[in-house]
Amino acid sequence: MKGAEAEARAAAHLQALGRTVLAQNYRIRGGEIDLVTREPGGTLVFTEVRHRAAPDHGSAAESVTPRKLALMHRAALSYLLRECGRDDLPCRLEVLTIDGPVEGGVVGIWPVE
């Protein structure tokens, strides 16, 4: 349930930035995108949401592995092809982190290179 709460806060945060939520928990075999949003200029953004209530095992950003990023990239490409019919649209990947309690924790947005 905490994952769903973190994703709900992330969606609200991104909407407050002017984005439109197009999909939540977009799944393909072997991969998932937590949130797919569109910026006012039209760029699609694929967002992985990570939450860490306490720093005992590192920060939320440190929990993102290279394997997770590869699966995220694969799922984003699938979304572009299946939902948009093409893979050459302006888009990017990012990780939204929440460190601390879901409701009051610090939110960070990290671009994926």
pLDDT given for residue 30 in this prediction = 83
Alpha carbons 93 and 64: distance in angstroms, whole number? 13
Domain assignment of residue 12, given as a range:
2-111
Counting Cβ atoms within 10 Å, is residue 45 exposed (0-12), middle (13-18) or buried (19+)? buried
| Local mean pLDDT, 10-residue blocks, the chain (113 residues) | 86 98 94 96 96 84 90 95 95 96 93 87
pLDDT given for residue 87 in this prediction = 93
Number of structural domains found in the chain? 1
Contact 48, 96 (CB under 8 A): yes
How many CB atoms lie under 10 A from the CB of residue 72?
A: 22
pTM (2 d.p.): 0.93
pLDDT given for residue 70 in this prediction = 93
pLDDT given for residue 75 in this prediction = 96
Q: Residue 43 belongs to a domain with what CATH number? A: 3.40.1350.10
pLDDT given for residue 110 in this prediction = 92
How many CB atoms lie under 10 A from the CB of residue 58?
A: 10
